[in-house]
Amino acid sequence: MAGYYRPYMGTFAADMFFAFTASVISLVIPLTVRYITSNIVHMDGDRAVRQILTIGCVLAVLIILQFVSNYYITYIGHVMGAKMEYDMRAEIFGHYQKLSFAFFDEQKVGQLMSRITSDLFDISELLHHGPENLAISFIKIVGAFLILIRISPCLTLAAFVLLPVMFLYAYFLNRKMKKAFKENRVQIAGINAQIEDSLSGIRVVKSFANEDIEKEKFRAGNDGFLKAKKRSYVYMGFFNSGMTAFTMLINVIVIMTGGILIAKDMVKVADYVAFLLYINIFTDPVKTLIDFTEQFQNGYSGFERFAEILALEPDIADKPDAVPLENVRGDIVFEDVSFKYHDNAHRVLRHINLDLKAGSYVALVGSSGGGKTTLCSLIPRFYDVTKGCIRIDGKDIRDVTLKSLRENIGIVQQDVYLFAGTVFENISYGRPGATKEEVTEAAKLANAHDFIMNLPKGYDTDIGQRGIKLSGGQKQRLSIARVFLKNPPILIFDEATSSLDNESENIVKESLEKLASHRTTFVIAHRLSTIRNAEMILVLTENGIEEKGTHEELMAKNGVYAGLYNWTN
């Protein structure tokens, strides 16, 4: 955690200074009470009044200084905490961007969001209040102890006799609370994941009238969270009530011991009064530490979850000597490529060998699970090959930078993802900074301009979350416009028309054909009639590339492809 203070050391030092100042001032007031009860009561009236007024003026100045100190601690200190939270959120979000598909395949969005929102808020509260509360408590406890022992060593011994037992009690329960609060984090992350899943699929939920099922799923997660909370509050209850009882016992012991010492004329009444006031100053930081304990457990358990993510090294990253991929023609070679997912011993792809020249138009067909999408996902390195290599223009794609590799590849998927925002913002995502004229031209090439102009605000129309206000064909054409704007030399169409009606499919197909012109193109096809004109058709099965050739050649073989074609038509 210490590294996050480094950019704000000036503010942090000032925060500690003002915390020190406020704590020292709180130690002064009981001394004035002792001075008044010990000395001023024996002075004549006029002199006593002058002394009291002088003390009052000094105390007023100290109170103003304490006000300034507390204001700085509360305002500037909190801003420092917010800035540290900002830095940590930016760091973990940036780290999310580096992680590969393999990581996100295993994670739930709601849990990832929990680590970047509620977890970080608790961490920032700890980073701000933690050192401050510890400093204030340390100064008050040490200062009060030094003053107490000067007033009466016997009373001080009585006051501190329970401290070892109190600290052992606190240590034991702290360990229990740490474990319980970490479990709370896991449970609330699970609830966030369930909520995100349910709300994202709300139209499916309603279409099947399954609201009650979703409520039951949420109730189960919520019950788990409540159970974990109850467990943590059991320990917290024992901790808080125990620590409060210890502080009360300390007061009782001091009162009884002081009464006996006064009766034996071993302690003056003025010293006894001052001692009682200092005991309250001594127990006050103990109460602060009690409150701090929950904050520490929340913040530290959140930080552990935060650190777990940052500790994950991206399994797909640039080599130290990676070079940019420039002036791409689009020649692509697969050399004995095999691939399997981490959690699956079964190879999805086996010994794939391909040699495609720039501008080739290749279709991939086969039954579900044959590895069509996986093969295409290897080209932009969404996953890395298990064996063999892929070359673009003679360069192993593992030797070039990820950014330059992916900048040269355009992907149009069946499941189009559009961001919340306007039409213009979604198309310009293909090339940030593009002009309105460039975006418009891309839309025209994608056969999207006419329907965009019929929207309420044209290119400035808000399309809703995931483009919910648009039809499937309209969303697909926006995604194609986005790739037109990007203008990459390599294209991947992943069943881009399979979910569209006939009219929309024809419009989108025309757009795709324009986009594919003079580019190296991979088409994953569900409807085999759409790829009859492909220069090469690859039939993928669990054995690898089972068949290869044009439509006519494969139909003449009367093999796997012919069977698929006849079955789907």
In this predicted structure, the answer to whether residue 270 has a pLDDT above a threshold of 90 is no
Looking at residue 327, the DSSP 8-state letter turns out to be S
- Residue pLDDT, tens place only, 293-342: 767 777 777 788 788 888 888 888 888 999 998 998 989 999 999 888 76
Q: How far apart are CA 144 and CA 275, in angstroms?
A: 9
- Residue pLDDT, tens place only, 505-515: 677 677 777 77
Please write down the long-range contacts of 504-513, taking CB distance under 8 Å and 24 or more positions apart.
504/471, 504/472, 504/473, 504/476, 505/473, 505/530, 507/447, 507/473, 507/477, 508/447, 508/473, 508/476, 508/477, 508/480, 510/447, 511/445, 511/446, 511/447, 511/448, 511/477, 511/480, 512/412, 512/480
Architecture field, domain 11-310: Up-down Bundle (1.20)
How many C-beta atoms surround the C-beta of residue 59 within 10 A?
15
Region 45-73 average pLDDT:
84
In this predicted structure, the answer to whether residue 112 has a pLDDT above a threshold of 90 is no
In this predicted structure, the answer to whether residue 126 has a pLDDT above a threshold of 60 is yes
**Bigger pLDDT: 337 vs 134:** 337
Domain ranges of the chain: 11-310, 332-568
Q: How far apart are CA 130 and CA 132, in angstroms?
A: 5
In this predicted structure, the answer to whether residue 500 has a pLDDT above a threshold of 70 is no
Residue 35: how many CA atoms within 13 Å on its side-chain side? 11
**Bigger pLDDT: 421 vs 40:** 421
pLDDT band at 182 (very low <50, low <70, confident <90, very high): confident
From 132-141, 186-195, 356-365, the region with the lowest mean pLDDT = 186-195
Structure confidence at residue 397 (pLDDT)? 92
Structure confidence at residue 398 (pLDDT)? 93
CATH superfamily of this structure's domain 332-568: P-loop containing nucleotide triphosphate hydrolases (3.40.50.300)
From 41-45, 171-175, 230-234, the region with the lowest mean pLDDT = 41-45
53 Cβ contact list (under 8 Å, min separation 6): none
Region 436-452 average pLDDT:
88
- Residue pLDDT, tens place only, 201-226: 665 666 556 678 778 878 887 888 78
Region 528-534 average pLDDT:
73
In this predicted structure, the answer to whether residue 543 has a pLDDT above a threshold of 80 is no
From 18-27, 342-351, 547-556, the region with the lowest mean pLDDT = 342-351
Token pair belonging to 74: 């509360």
| Mean pLDDT of all residues belonging to the chain | 81
- Judge whether 152 and 201 are in contact, CB under 8 Å: no
Structure confidence at residue 541 (pLDDT)? 80
**Bigger pLDDT: 208 vs 9:** 9
From 92-96, 265-269, 489-493, the region with the lowest mean pLDDT = 265-269
- Percentage of the chain beyond pLDDT 90 is 8
Structure confidence at residue 41 (pLDDT)? 59
Structure confidence at residue 503 (pLDDT)? 63
pTM, to two decimals: 0.67
Q: SS3 for 252-306, per residue?
A: HHHHHHHHHHHHCCCCCHHHHHHHHHHHHHHHHHHHHHHHHHHHHHHHHHHHHHH
pLDDT band at 344 (very low <50, low <70, confident <90, very high): low
In this predicted structure, the answer to whether residue 33 has a pLDDT above a threshold of 80 is no
Biggest alpha carbon–alpha carbon distance for the chain: 124
pLDDT band at 396 (very low <50, low <70, confident <90, very high): very high
**Bigger pLDDT: 275 vs 329:** 329
pLDDT band at 502 (very low <50, low <70, confident <90, very high): low
Q: Tell me the CA distances in angstroms from 55 to 34, 49, 225, 421, one per residue in order.
A: 12, 10, 55, 65
Structure confidence at residue 497 (pLDDT)? 64
- Percentage of the chain beyond pLDDT 70 is 91
Region 105-115 average pLDDT:
74
pLDDT band at 416 (very low <50, low <70, confident <90, very high): confident
Structure confidence at residue 463 (pLDDT)? 85
